[in-house]
Structures are given as C-alpha cells and as structure tokens.
Amino acid sequence: MAAPRGPAAAWKRHIVRQLRQRDSTQKALFLELVPAYNRLLEKAELLAQFSESLQPEPNSVTHTTHQGPWEEESEPDSDQVSSPATLKMKWQKEEERLRLRCGQMAYQVVEKSAALGALASELEERQSRLAAQGARVAELEEARAQLAGQVEERRARNAAQRAAYDTLRVRAGLREATLRRLEEEVQELLRQLVQLKARAAAQRNLRNERRERAKQARVSQELKQAAKRPVSISESPEALGSVVREGAESPALAAELQALESEACEKWKRPFRSASATSLTLSRCVDVVKGLLDFKKRRGHSIGGAPEPRYQSIPVCVAVRLPTRAQDVLDAHLSEVNAVRFAPSSSLLATGGADRAIHLWNAVGGRLKASQTLEGAGGSITSLDFDPSGSQVLAATYNKAAQLWRVGEAQSKETLSGHTDKVTAAKFKLTRHQAVTGSRDRTVKEWDLGRAYCSRTINVLSYCNDVVCGDHIIISGHNDQKIRFWDSRGPRCTQVIPVQGRVTSLNLSHDQLHLLSCSRDDTLKVIDLRVSNIRQVFRADGFKCGSDWTKAVFSPDRSYALAGSWDGALYIWDVDTGKLESSVQGPHCAAVNAVAWCPSGSHVVSVDQGRKAVLWH
C-alpha cells in the first residue's frame, strides 16, 4: 500500500509519535523499579546464605572474628563482640524488613504490570482503530479521486456549455439587432403605407370632387341652356323630360326628375298654359338638380360616393329577466378579463383580457361554449365591440392601436394605428365601415374601415376612457370628470356635461335617447339626451368601482341599469324609479370589470380581474 500523502499522513504520524512517547514514558517508570527489585532479590539470597553460615552448632561455642556491617551498628565499643543470638535476631529483623520491602515492591510491580497491560490493550485497540481509520481514509481518498475526476469532467462540460452559450448569445444579439432593424423597417413601411393611403385617398377625393363639380357645372350649363331655349305650346312633355334627363345620373336625381315630369304633364294637360309657368318649372328643375348634386357630394363616406348600408340593432327583448344565480363559471383567460360584449340579436359574445387574446363564446343551454379564438392582438384588450351586422369584432389594445377581426377568421384583418398612447375604447358607428376610437393620448379618432384610414382627429383636454356613437353624434367620457358631445358633421364640441368622478364607461340605449355613465365616485348616472340633463343618479351601500375601466350597461329594454362592484357583486337599479332593484353575490372573488346583457334579455355575463367569466340566469 502506498504511503499516505498530504494532511492525512501528518495526523497519522502525529498519533504514532504520541503513542510511542507514552510507551517510552511508561517503560521509564519500570526501568528503575525492576533493577531495584532484582538487587533486593540478590541481597535477600545473600543474606539467606549468610544466615545459614552463621547458624551455631548446638555443642560448640565458636567466636568469630568476622566483622560486618551489623557490627558497626551494634558494637558500643571496639572490644565488645555480639553473640550469635543477637546477630540472628538482627538478621531476622533485617530479613523481615527486606521481605516487607520486597512485598511492597512486588505489589507495585503487579500494579504497574496491570496498568501496563491495560495500556497495552488500549494501545492495541487504538492501533486497530487507527488501522480502521486508515482503511476509511483510503476509501475516502479513492472516493475523493473519483469525485475529483467527476469535477474535472463537469468543468470541461461547463466550459463547453459556456462556449456554446456565448456563441448562442452572440447569435441572439445578432438576431435581436436584425429583429430591431426589421421592426424599424416595418414601422417605416407602415408609416409610408399610411402616408400613401392618405395621399391616395386625398387624390381620390380631389378627383371625385373635381368630377362632381364638372358634372354639376355641365348639368347646370345644360339646364340653363334648356331654360333659355324657347318652348312652344306644341312641344310635348317628353321633350322637356329628355332635356332635363341629359344631366341626371344618380337614381335619386332620376326619381326627382320623374316627379317633375309627372307634374309637367299635369300642367301641360291644362287648357291654358303661359310662358311664365314653363320658365318657372325649368328654374325649379335647375334648383332641384343643384340641390341633389350638392346632397350627393355631402353624403358620400366612401370613395365612390355610394350609400353605405346602415344597420340598426333592433332589440328582440320581450321581457328582461333579472340575474339571480350563476349558471356557468369558467376561467375564460390566462389573466385579468377587461371586456365582454354580446353580438347584436345573437347569443354570441366576445371576451378580451390582459393575455392579448379574444375568445368567442356561445351562450347555449345555460353554458358558455368556446367558439373561436381571435389571435394577433398586439397588447392587452381594453374594449370590444361588434359591428351592427355581428360579422366583425373591433378591439382597443394597449399597443396604441385598434384591431379589426372578421368572425370566423383567426387573424386580424386590419390594424388602425395612429394613436400615440394606449387605446382605451373602440366602437362601431351605425355602419360597419366606420368606427370611433378613444385613447389616453387625449384624442378621439374617426376611421373609414374600408380604407383603414383616419378621417378625422378630435383633440381633447383629457384622457378618453370610453366612447359611444349615435346617428350624427359622438359621446366621449374623460378622466377630467366630463362627458363631451361631438357632432360628426362639425369640428367642435357641441356640449359638455360635468359629472363627479372620472368617467369609466358610457352606454347608449337602443332608442338613443338615454345615456348611462359610470364614474369613480361610485355612482351611475342616466342622462336624458333630449334635454341634455342628468335624470337619475344610482348609488348603493357596498357598490364601488373596481377600476378605471369598469363597464355598466342598460338592459335591452332600458328598464334597468347593471354594474359590477369591487367585491364581485352585481348591482341592478330600476331606471324609472331610481331604486336599487337587487344585488347578487356570486362566484366572483375579485373586482368585476365589465358586464353584458344578452339582447334577448334572458341572461347576463360578467367578467372580473381574477380570469373568471360567469353566466347568470
């Protein structure tokens, strides 16, 4: 076995050295005792021989002349000699003393031998333990060598992984730089695209305007020429109609001219007809054509000037059923749910949340069944709206844009970018090709969805938290505790209604005569738009707005107002009496962010900050 190395060999040598030192110390105690005992034994044997030689014979008296050491002690004077009896007695005493001393020494020898045996056995035990510890140390040294090998292997592996990690980090940095460059290029391309769209739209509008003006001038010129031409009594009404119809192109103009023709026919059938009557009819025809052309120019919202289809969300509610119990509870999103909206005249509803997802559900048989997931949102969803036909979904997001989806298609159809801060509200107007958005950048924008182009930007003095749209009016609720009214045909604010508390939501009744607002002063207010005055203020003990985007809604028949509270309860007020109709506590464990009432009035859906969506019946 190889000699131990390092610190282990040092402590072993130390133990061996200590044991040897103790052995030598114990032996040193007996090195003096054993020779003394041997000398005593020799003296005892010598004295025994002397005593035998000094034994006197019974019949003889012999004087000895030997001198010994006892003589020096016993003789009082030089000439006196002790008798043998005296000497014998002395020798017996001395022998007795020596025997006693030898016994004592023998007892000490026995004790020392016993102690030496105990020490020897302890030494053997310690040597055996030392051998066991040496074996254990050898095993540990072997294990240590194995672990050292594993450590070296791990170090080599870590070095390889570190090199690979450095390589991947360098590649990731290059990829990130490439991604940033591509994103900048995309942003630049989007900006250029928006500019090109805006330029193209402006050019189209200019061409259309020139074409309309040329058309109007041509028709006016032709009508003036027709008016100046002399008309004889023999001319038929058809000639007049053909002259007027030469400048008419639109169906509305043709219908008006047809009416004028019928009127002219009636007048031509009269027995007496004057030239003044004829000239009056022609002048009226010119005025009518001008008015129709001007109306055609004003009314066009799209490029071609064709009228857009208008949809009215006709309520199909027969009788509203107040929510009393939760029928279905599910975790609709991965995080906070901010918005919920029913499609017009349908059981389809949409929910959107902070997880950047929009889920479509069908409320069928007292359950919420997942229908589709709309993907591609660039940020947290703050507001949702269906178009009047229920075929498109518009969402406001935190990535400074609103996005448009078509129901049945998972990816976004259009992105309405132009705001410089979070978009907090996005609503369709009464047509599916127009929308309005509000943002924290203190602007409200009108959009032409056919061109994905912002047709108008309204600058406001405060954050916009929600918007609603009527026939020719846009209503916005703001962070400065005011509700503003904007005429979509004019550039300025037409009216401002102050409320107590930051406005969190607005909801317009189906008849567009009443507006419901929710604000952070924990109240709901009903505003009569016919007199522009606050008609009712709803309060309740325990009701508190849980966030700056808490949504409250009318029932489909406008009989009740519904809102969710910070404690997860739903509060329902009677609009006519202003009293609290009921409050329902359900499975919500967090603040309710939004509520939606089914157009049929049969059930309600609420969403909260704890990912839950609850169907009430």
Q: Looking at residue 601, what DSSP letter applies?
A: S
Report whether 591 contacts 568 (CB < 8 A).
Answer: yes
Number of CB atoms found within 10 A of residue 53's CB: 9
Q: What is the pLDDT of residue 509?
A: 93
The 10 Å CB-count burial string (b at 16+, else e) for 557-581 is bbbbbbbbbbebbbbbbebeeeeee
Least confident range from 47-56, 177-186, 198-207, 344-353: namely: 47-56
Give the rounded percent of residues in the chain with a pLDDT score beyond 90. 45
Higher pLDDT, 136 or 62: 136
How many whole angstroms separate alpha carbon 30 and alpha carbon 109?
A: 8
Residue 377: count other Cβ atoms within 10 Å of its Cβ.
23
Residues 469-516: tens digit of each pLDDT: 988 899 999 999 999 999 877 768 889 999 989 999 999 998 899 999
pLDDT of 328: 95
Ranges 7-16, 65-74, 177-186: which has the least confidence: 65-74
Q: What H or E segment, with its residue span, contains residue 341?
A: strand 337-342
Structure token pair of residue 271: 């027995």
Is the pLDDT assigned to residue 75 strictly greater than 70? no
The pLDDT of residue 32: 75
Is-contact 428 452, C-beta < 8 A?
Answer: no
> Residue 219 and residue 291: Cα distance in Å, rounded?
12
Q: Are strands 503-508 and 514-519 parallel, antiparallel or unpaired?
A: antiparallel
Whether 562 and 281 have beta carbons less than 8 Å apart is answered as no
Question: How far apart (Å, rounded) are the C-alpha atoms in residues 45 and 98?
Answer: 11
Instruction: Summarize pLDDT for 163-176 with one digit per residue, the tens.
Output: 999 999 999 999 98
pLDDT of residue 352: 96
Other CB atoms within 10 Å distance of the CB of residue 345: 18
pLDDT band at 195 (very low <50, low <70, confident <90, very high): confident
Give the residue among 400, 390, 323 at the shortest CA–CA distance from 592.
Answer: 323
Cα–Cα nearest to 599, from 313, 319, 345? 345
pLDDT tens column, 256-279: 545 544 544 444 344 333 333 333
Number of Cα atoms under 13 Å in the Cβ half of residue 289 = 30
- Residue 272 has a pLDDT of 35
DSSP assignment of 258-311? HHHHHHHHHHHTSS---HHHHHHHHHHHHHHHHHHHHHHHHH--SSS-PPPP--
Query: Which stretch of DSSP H or E encloses residue 112?
Result: helix 84-228
Average pLDDT over residues 290-314: 43
Mean pLDDT, the chain, as a whole number? 80
pLDDT at 57: 52
Beta-sheet pairing, 434-439 with 423-428: antiparallel
Q: How far apart are CA 116 and CA 27, in angstroms?
A: 9
Tell me the HSE value of 135 on the side-chain side, using a 13 A CA sphere.
5
Distance of CA 9 to the CA centre of its chain: 60
Strand partners, 561: 554, 573
CA 250 to chain centre: 56
Task: Flag whether pLDDT at 78 surpasses 50.
Answer: no
Question: In the beta sheet, which residues pair with residue 528?
Answer: 514, 533
Residue 103 — very low, low, confident or very high, per pLDDT cuts 50/70/90?
Answer: confident
**Using a CB cutoff of 8 Å and minimum separation of 24, what contacts does 234-241 make?**
236/268, 237/261, 237/264, 237/265, 237/268, 240/264, 240/281, 240/282
14 pLDDT band (50/70/90 cuts)? confident
pLDDT at position 70 is 41
pLDDT higher at 275 or 115: 115
What does residue 515 show for φ and ψ, rounded to 5 degrees?
A: -125, 130
Mean pLDDT of the 25-37 span? 77
Q: List the beta bridge partners of residue 459.
A: 443
pLDDT for the residue numbered 250: 45
Residue range 326-616, CATH number: 2.130.10.10
Beta bridge partners of 373: 359
Cα-to-chain-centroid distance, residue 603 = 30
Q: Is 345 left (phi over 0), alpha (psi -120 to 50) or beta?
A: left
